[in-house]
Amino acid sequence: MKFLETLNEAQLEAVNYNSGPHMIVAGAGSGKTRVLTYKIAYLIKSGKYTPSSILALTFTNKAAGEMKERVVELVGAKAAKIWMGTFHSILARILRAEAKKLGYQPNFSIYDREDSVSLVSNVMSALNISLESLTANSVQHKISSLKNQMISPQDYEESFAQTLHEKKIVEIYREYNKRLFENNSMDFDDLLLKPIELFNSDQKVLQKYRKQFKYILVDEYQDTNKAQYEILKMFTTTRIKLCVVGDDAQSIYGWRGAEIKNMLDFEKDFPKAKIFRLEQNYRSSKTILNAADSIIKKNTDQIQKTLWTENNDGEQLTIMKCADEKDEAYQIAKKIKKEVTSKKLSFNDIAILYRVNSQSRALEEALRREKIPYKIIGGVEFYRRKEIKDIIAYLRVITNQDDEESLLRIMNYPQRGIGNTSISKMIAFARKLDISLFTTMSRVFEVIEVKERIQKNVKQFKLLLDKYIDLKEELSLAELTSTLMDELGILKLYKEENTPDSLARHDNVVELLNGITEFTKENPDATIDTFLAEVSLVAGIDSMDDEENSITLMTIHSAKGLEFPIVFVTGCEEDIFPLNPKFDSDSNISEERRLFYVALTRAERKVFITYARSRYRFGEVAYQSRSRFLDELDESTFEEFNGGTTRKVGRRRKAYYDEMYQESYDDDDFNQEQRSLRVGSRVIHEKFGNGKILQIQGTGDMQRVSVAFEKHGTKHLLAKFANLKLA
């Protein structure tokens, strides 16, 4: 097979091996994707495995799509029959085929995080739970964490729930799962848990898929969680071959359940497993590689490997000390212009990486001022925008009338005079008779608490939905959506409002309609179900446009798997990078160090690292100390540059700063009634001790304060009763 001739010796050995479970430890930039792609092509080309008997699991749709295209190029169109996709998309496909065995309908809805938070909020309201320490966001995060650890409501109640807070979570968790089932819906975590439930309850189904898949390959194995690991163990028998590829040094998703021990314990979990190491880096210069190596070697629990490269030494890393985040942004913009001009680069050759999303604000302002084009990856994703989710909700209800969350979202959108009070009365009626909210709409005239005028509005809305439920079998997906939008008058509504925001929403809806038309052309038999299945699993990185000539701004987590000639790693200060565990209990130094390693190894030629002496955080100026990671770097790999404004600032530059500060922080002191309590203030609580105010909402007696306490985590308190004292 001629294509194998392009592989190096270590890569070729890994591709050819076919005698049992094996793990390919692939260092950053070592050609991991090529090895995985060529291995799949080799398996098909050898004639030993049909495409449909190969299951290849990835962590992004983008990676899966690119790999499948490359395999098709190597072995022909038959490769399109490979089962390749993300864990969630492949398992959703299996669940739709087997849904009835679990009591679901195949057209079940898939709830994203926002949908889940909304459902948690509705559950808390129905259960009349309003503890200060519980918010819908925090409860949803806890439920997701428990599901990732495969802990059911009953398990949590019996083994963990001690406090009133925890017992309330049990109550919400149990009702949340019940509502999901009643809504014929699953959340993202269910897409991993329900297959385990299915396979445990029906051995025939498990045997069916064991017979289907003869070779299983897993990309980014270091990112697998407990549920994903269990599914792999269920699928894998002595007859089924297993190949996993990953890099423990790039395990950076512990906060969402990823377990690095899945990789570290591979030989223990799969006896007689063979380990291959890909250590030649094709991406980065020697200097960048040495710098990254000097960082990651500080971690103890890891698979030993030493990356090397035949690339040239390249430039030293540049560490820039800045006065504050505005100076940091200014210095970066200035460096970008210089690099683009002197090295004849395009803007899309450059990425600016940050640890937390809030860092992007100053950077965006500086880039706009300097007229440098940029795009943000991982901001508000297209399919998560309100106007798009509203339309998706209509499509969800048309195909799944039990989806109560989606129905609630569109009940009064566009406005049709059905208020929250009337909706609450309809929900109470539905619960009392144990019927769905959709069915209740047909019987709204029986809900005597709802005014006659509103009953008529509900009836009209039900007739509209019924019309499109009937039409979905007659019209194409594109025709149905377009006709529905016309009848609802959504585009007209946004245009008549004629504000920058409404016009942007108008354009987004048009873009959605264009996307649906394109999807229909590419998939002539596409139904609402197939479209919804596709968009429900889209991630921010999947829609990244590599051709757009602009600077890329993104978190380091979003950057994993990408590469750029020049990379800026920003905000390298203690409490930001590494993130302070007081403000993020899921962070730990080993994982933060791996994250720093990932940031450095995104770069091919040059790395700029910036840190600020002070930074506006939590509503006040905080004086920062540089990240410990800078002191862990091999001294021979970097040079330091003082970009801070210690000298006199020119009039033009001072005006630049003043204007940026004015724009950015006019609204920070939003609590006019209690000026003593500000975001960022350090406070003392009689019970919880020392903490820092993260957020203040409301005024007067209803003012709520979110405080990150050093020993008790984040608490949400009513200011009136909290009796907080300034530290």
**Residue type (1 letter), 409:** R
Instruction: Write down the number of H helices and E strands in the chain.
Output: 30, 22
Residue 212: closest CA among 63, 93, 86: 93
Tokens of 285: 């210069």
Buried b (16+ CB within 10 A) or exposed e, 567-590: bbbbbbbebbbbbeebbbeebeeb
Residue with tokens 């398992």: 91
CA distances, 615 to each of 88, 186, 580, 612, 710 (Å) = 39, 42, 15, 7, 21
On the question of a cis peptide bond just before residue 578, with omega within 30 degrees of 0, the verdict is: yes
Residue 646: Cβ-neighbour burial (10 angstroms; 0-12, 13-18, 19+) = exposed
The total of other beta-carbon atoms located within 10 Å of residue 538's CB is: 18
Catalytic residues: 32-33, 219-220, 250, 602
* Three state DSSP letters for 236-285: CCCCCEEEEEECHHHCCCHHHCCCCHHHHCHHHHCCCCEEEEECECCCCC
Residue 209: closest CA among 185, 254, 240: 240
Residue 88: closest CA among 260, 223, 249: 223
The SS3 of residue 725 is: strand
Do residues 651 and 317 lie in contact, with contact meaning Cβ atoms separated by under 8 Å?
A: no
Maximum pairwise Cα distance, the chain: 79
The total of other beta-carbon atoms located within 10 Å of residue 301's CB is: 10
Do residues 352 and 376 lie in contact, with contact meaning Cβ atoms separated by under 8 Å?
A: no
The SS3 of residue 31 is: coil
Residue with tokens 């962070």: 587
CA distances, 93 to each of 477, 526, 537, 541 (Å) = 20, 15, 11, 21
Strands 603-612 and 614-617: unpaired
